Amino acid sequence: MLIFSLSIVFVPAHKDRICHALRRSYPKSAHVFDRKSCIKWWSPLLALLLGCTSPTPEIHRLQGNTMGTYYLIQWRGQTPSKFAVRIDSILHEINMAVSTYIDSSLISQLNAAKATVYILPTHTSRARARSYHFIRNAQLADSIYRLSHGAFDPTVLPAVEYWGFGKRKSPPDSDTLPDSIRRCLGMRRIALHGDTVIKALPCVQLDFSAIAKGYAVDVLANWLQRKGVQHFLVDIGGEVRAHGFRKDDQPWIVGIQNPHLREFSTLPALRLQLFHRAVATSGNYRNFHLRRGKKIVHTIDPRTGYPIATDILSASIVHPTCAVADALATACMVMGSAQALSWIDSLPNTEACFIASTVKGDTILFTQGFPMLLLR
């Protein structure tokens, strides 16, 4: 599933547009933004804070490569000093903290360590920055692990490598996961105490790939806000977070493209309005192996260590932060649509869209509030 930024022209009056965007962005709190209250209290405040009545500056763009994919930042208003240099520096430090594809990264050194106790470096400002990014990813991953009851688990890396979805790109000859790998899995086998990481076994390894891009989006978004940029969209490899408006009180629009598993698809394209929200997607439709005619998908159930193909082909999650949306999408892929829909509906300020496979073909499933986010 691809996510791409679009724009659209809204025709309602100025205040109605703000109220409409608030209700769509926070469907579970829509009653707080009813038209009467919103026009009386919320829209004048937002107009003041977001500068809605001022002339619309041009939209700036910065793009480049990071984390094995692209990044694209769009914003309007002022451009912070040394903008491009600072963005690249932030992304470089995050990569050097959590990329399993860089041998000298902090997480790679931890994974390769033979000792069960690892002290995160803090001897320089750069080392402290990388340790900070590592710790934040670990803390976020642990919170989603607990929230998902193990459907999301960053210790799944040994199984990911075994099934050919890590640095090794070919599947094994055997259909059985060796006990030597199975015993290395599970968040209960690793603990973080301050700047000290304790592993139950040397073979325990971490992989933050299902949360790192979303985390980087959030870091950039927070940096932009600290620099006074109030209207922007940050996109790293399809993981997106938007703040403020694109122009003239028009919300940022992202398109969700359906996976082309079949030559002809009757599923409609979806366009989503983002207002102070993020969206992230996980899917099985591109990353898989074929072995002896059998499809091995890249979604690994960390509770068993085996690849799992549920009815969900792709999961898109909308949440205030991109890191959480990123991790929730991965957990949903493991759960399947029935459990995932109920689970996401129980979470505050969170919505989901699943493209699921049925005996009658592919279908689109929404949580209760997701349709309110769609551009009609």
| Residue 323 · residue 214 · CB < 8 Å | yes
* Measured CA angle at 183 (ends 179, 188), to 5 deg: 160
Beta strand pairing status for 231-236 and 196-199? unpaired
- The two tokens of residue 294 are 């059998």
pTM listed for this prediction? 0.83
Closest CA to 275 of 13, 34, 50, 56: 50
- The two tokens of residue 194 are 């301050």
- Determine the pLDDT at residue 7: 33
Local structure of residue 247 (DSSP, 8 states): B
CATH number given to 78-199: 3.10.520.10
- Determine the pLDDT at residue 56: 58
Q: How far is it, in rounded angstroms, from Cα 269 to Cα 271?
A: 7
> Alpha-carbon dihedral of residues 91, 95, 97, 99, nearest 10 degrees?
160
| Residue 164 · residue 172 · CB < 8 Å | yes
* Measured CA angle at 236 (ends 138, 69), to 5 deg: 100
pLDDT profile of the chain (376 residues), mean per 10:
39 50 64 57 51 65 95 92 94 97 96 96 96 98 98 95 75 81 96 97 96 98 96 96 90 77 56 94 66 64 91 94 98 96 97 90 91 90
Phi-psi region of 186 (alpha: psi -120 to 50; beta: other; left: phi over 0): left
| Residue 114 · residue 86 · CB < 8 Å | no
Local structure of residue 227 (DSSP, 8 states): T
